[in-house]
Amino acid sequence: MSITAAQLNKYMNAFFADDDTAKARWHDTRNQSGMKKQLLGVGKKVSDPDAPKRPKPAYMFFCDTARAHIREEMPELKTPQVAVELGKRWEALKNDASRSAELDQYHQLYETDRARYAAAMKDYVPPSQPERLRRKNADAPKKGKSSFFHFCDDARAVVRADFPYYDRKQLSKELSDRWSALKADDSRRVELAKYMNLAERDSLKYKEDMGRYTAPKKTAVIEEEPMVVRERSERRETRDISKSAYLLFCEGQRAHVKKSNPGLRGDEITRKLSKAWKNLADDQKQLYRDRV
């Protein structure tokens, strides 16, 4: 069932009827903007089932081979325990120099699969996403790279040459470790300053580009419905299918609870109503359900 921003705001206004603080927070500009994005589905990632499958890392090829052996040797192990055993055997394989040929075999399988994926991606054309799911304007200025990413641009090829069998995760970790080592080494301050200056240059360029950029008008909007304020008696007589039995109970009991407990805040009244609803007999709850 679809719902507009106006309908949701109407419901929340009734829910926070006696809590002005909560109502103000709900109508905060950032919260309203986030709510509308959620209703629009902005930023949702749409996966393509026909897209080429990403390459499997060397560890997954190892698991394909070793899992059957573990199941045969230790049939009592459950799936999580098998996963732990696979991790232990993989670490043992990597640390055993006498089994380097076996390890290279799995890395070669990964390289073959990576080449397959790269070739498939050259011919792959992703489907166009609906306009309402596009998050950013393609013509908007691009944010500059951080100093770390400028460092990665230089160091990635070096790490690839040193460790040709590293998958993407291992490569990222090695780059991160080398970046940390660079920052901690006082003798390499000149090299570090180079990347800091590149990041600062990108940041200034982005600010200048944003100063000249004019964002296009939004084409996907939620149409706001006018808020109709009716008399309390009219609201009671009108049947609103969007209300739950609990909300009808709260509307009927809130005034009584507030009168009996004049010192309670709005959120405390809500908790009291919730507790009363939980303790209400089933036949009494059914009276409210029949009104929904």
**What's the rounded mean pLDDT across residues 101-107?**
91
User: Has residue 220 been placed in a domain?
Assistant: no
User: Has residue 86 been placed in a domain?
Assistant: yes
pLDDT digits (tens, 9 = 90+) for 151-207: 999 999 998 888 888 888 888 999 999 999 998 888 988 999 999 999 889 888 888
CATH number at residue 160: 1.10.30.10
Angle of helix 5-15 relative to helix 245-260, nearest 10 degrees, comes to: 40
CA separation for the pair 199, 220 (Å, rounded): 34
Contacts of 39 (CB under 8 A, 6+ apart): 3, 4, 5, 8, 222
Does the CA dihedral 275-276-277-282 come out positive or negative? positive
Enter the pTM of the model. Answer: 0.35
Q: What is the pLDDT of residue 240?
A: 44
Q: What is the pLDDT of residue 224?
A: 45
- Residue span of the structural domain in which 98 resides: 58-123
How many domains does the chain divide into?
4
User: Has residue 89 been placed in a domain?
Assistant: yes
